[in-house]
Amino acid sequence: MGQGPAGQRDTGAQSVLRIGLLGFGTIGSGVYRLIERERDEIIAATGVELRVVKVLEKDLQVERPGLPRELLTDDFSSIVGDPEIDVVVEVIGGTGAAFDFVKTALESGKNVVTANKQLLAHRGATLFQLARDLHRQIRFEAAVGGAIPIIRVMRESMIAAGIHTVYGIVNGTTNYILTAMAQGRGDYAEALTEAQKLGYAEPDPTEDVSGGDAAAKMAILASIAFKSRVTMADVSYEGIETLTLDDVRYAGEFGFVVKLIGAARLIGGRVNVRVHPALVPEDHPLASIQGSTNAVFLEGDVIDEIMLTGPGAGGRQTASAIVSDIVSIAGTKTTGFLQDCSCYKSLDSIPSEEVPSAFFLRVNVADRPGVLAQIAGAFADEGVSIESMIQKGHADQAELVIVTHPTREDGFFRAIDAIAGLPVCKGRPVTLRVLS
Ligand SMILES: NC(=O)c1ccc[n+]([C@@H]2O[C@H](COP(=O)([O-])OP(=O)(O)OC[C@H]3O[C@@H](n4cnc5c(N)ncnc54)[C@H](OP(=O)(O)O)[C@@H]3O)[C@@H](O)[C@H]2O)c1
């Protein structure tokens, strides 16, 4: 971190932190604008001037409103080779070039701030180890929960909280779609189109609607909560693409709201992390989280339960988390345990089949005597007990909707295989977990 050079305007700052920004898209331009707008405030509060001195982009011909042309470069080596640059902010996304850039930046002595959950969930182990070896920092508050300061809260405020469960809504796009479906604004396809029109979903929404985005975030949160590395490969996940309006309506009749839930649990010294649609009781606080908002519950021996909620993404909101990380680096220049992701344990995973869940299921059946007994028998064979059941329609249109008590997943799915094979059932039952 250098002193302000002679000849530059006197900002009153005691020092200047020079930043190389990789990417000037939604988040990169938001970071640049926020640093410009808040420069004087940050100097007054910290004595440090944040100064973006280079911006990497692939195409130098594209107009970048608000960005002085002389800052733009398409040459990464001009950033890592610049000894004056202290911090590299990676906001290009992806796990290929971003990995190479972050690795080279660390090797060149830079500290790194990133918003890239996929990079950290897939390849974080290598990067965090490198940062530790080289006494450099990787900060990643913006990778989970947008403007919600969840990494810092877990890393610092909850260090002695004995966190054993982290769960909640960590993807705004799917929550927007599910909220629209629950409010009767359309089926899945219509709600997705609405979300795309309003900018809540990408033109290619796969990463969000498949549960992949939420899975990467849960891998990061679980790693911090349990201090043991959880990667994408350790997370089982399902998305919302196959949810129908009927599922959402029937859930409502049982007093539930359908949400995409990420859950990380530490049980008996082993870890389970997963993402799936789940039925949330209407009186649970997560049921009222609407639109693109995120909300995460932390449960620990010492803290009982804490909920953090706020905007889960967006240019300004995510930029604010990045700027706070940059300021933190300015205040903590050596590497300590608070400046990486703290995975000093190596806990085993629990296969999801072993973790109990209550289930909702919906199945088309022939409306004739003995159907209920056959289905109940298939459940009884696997020790699954039924909490409630309703029948909809009759004759060819008959549909059974059932909610079970919590049960081991392997037994439940064996029962579903058996039920799907019954001649009285038409097609495989639709199943959803119930948050319990
Ligand atoms: N958007 C959000 O609300 C949000 C929230 C939290 C975290 N994030 C994370 O923040 C990161 C950036 O997201 P974003 O929404 O800002 O993406 P974006 O709008 O697509 O911006 C990325 C920018 O980086 C440029 N770029 C890509 N690869 C490059 C390379 N190899 N060299 C130089 N420039 C390159 C892109 O240029 P081209 O367009 O020419 O490819 C684009 O201008 C991602 O990791 C994302 O997951 C985003």
DSSP 333-374: -S--GGGS----B-PEEPPGGGSEEEEEEEEEE--STTHHHH
pLDDT tens, 275-291? 999 999 999 999 999 99
pLDDT number for residue 338: 66
For ligand 1, the distance from its centroid to the CA atom of residue 373, given in whole angstroms, is 55
Q: Is pLDDT at 2 greater than 80 in this prediction?
A: no
Do both 133 and 159 map to the same domain? no
Q: Is pLDDT at 7 greater than 50 in this prediction?
A: no
58 lines ligand 1 (CB under 6 A): yes
Q: Which CATH number do you get for residue 209?
A: 3.30.360.10
Residue 1: pLDDT band (50, 70, 90) is low
Q: Is pLDDT at 4 greater than 50 in this prediction?
A: no
Residue 396: pLDDT band (50, 70, 90) is confident
pLDDT tens, 48-61? 999 999 999 999 99
Q: Is pLDDT at 237 greater than 60 in this prediction?
A: yes
For ligand 1, the distance from its centroid to the CA atom of residue 29, given in whole angstroms, is 10
Beta bridge partners of 279: 258, 434
Do both 296 and 233 map to the same domain? yes
Q: Is pLDDT at 130 greater than 90 in this prediction?
A: yes
pLDDT tens, 187-209? 999 999 999 999 999 999 999 99
Q: Which residues, 6 or more positions from 75, have their beta carbon under 8 angstroms from its beta carbon?
A: 56
pLDDT tens, 384-394? 999 999 988 77
Nearest CA to ligand 1 atom 12: 91
Mean pLDDT over residues 236-244, rounded? 96
Q: Which domain holds residue 430?
A: 356-434
Beta carbons of 39 and 16 less than 8 angstroms apart: no
Total number of domains constituting the chain: 3
91 lines ligand 1 (CB under 6 A): yes
Pick the catalytic residue from 110, 217, 227, 259: 217
pLDDT tens, 44-100? 999 999 999 999 999 999 999 999 999 999 999 999 999 999 999 999 999 999 999
Question: Residue 363 domain-assigned?
Answer: yes
Mean pLDDT over residues 303-326, rounded? 93
Catalytic residue list contains 426: no
Q: Which CATH number do you get for residue 423?
A: 3.30.70.260
Do both 190 and 262 map to the same domain? yes
Nearest CA to ligand 1 atom 29: 92
| Cα 386 to Cα 372: distance, rounded to the nearest angstrom | 12
For ligand 1, the distance from its centroid to the CA atom of residue 23, given in whole angstroms, is 6
For ligand 1, the distance from its centroid to the CA atom of residue 389, given in whole angstroms, is 47
Do both 33 and 174 map to the same domain? no
Q: Which residue out of 74, 91, 119 has the highest number of ligand 1 atoms within 8 Å of its CB and is therefore the one to mutate?
A: 91
Do both 154 and 263 map to the same domain? yes
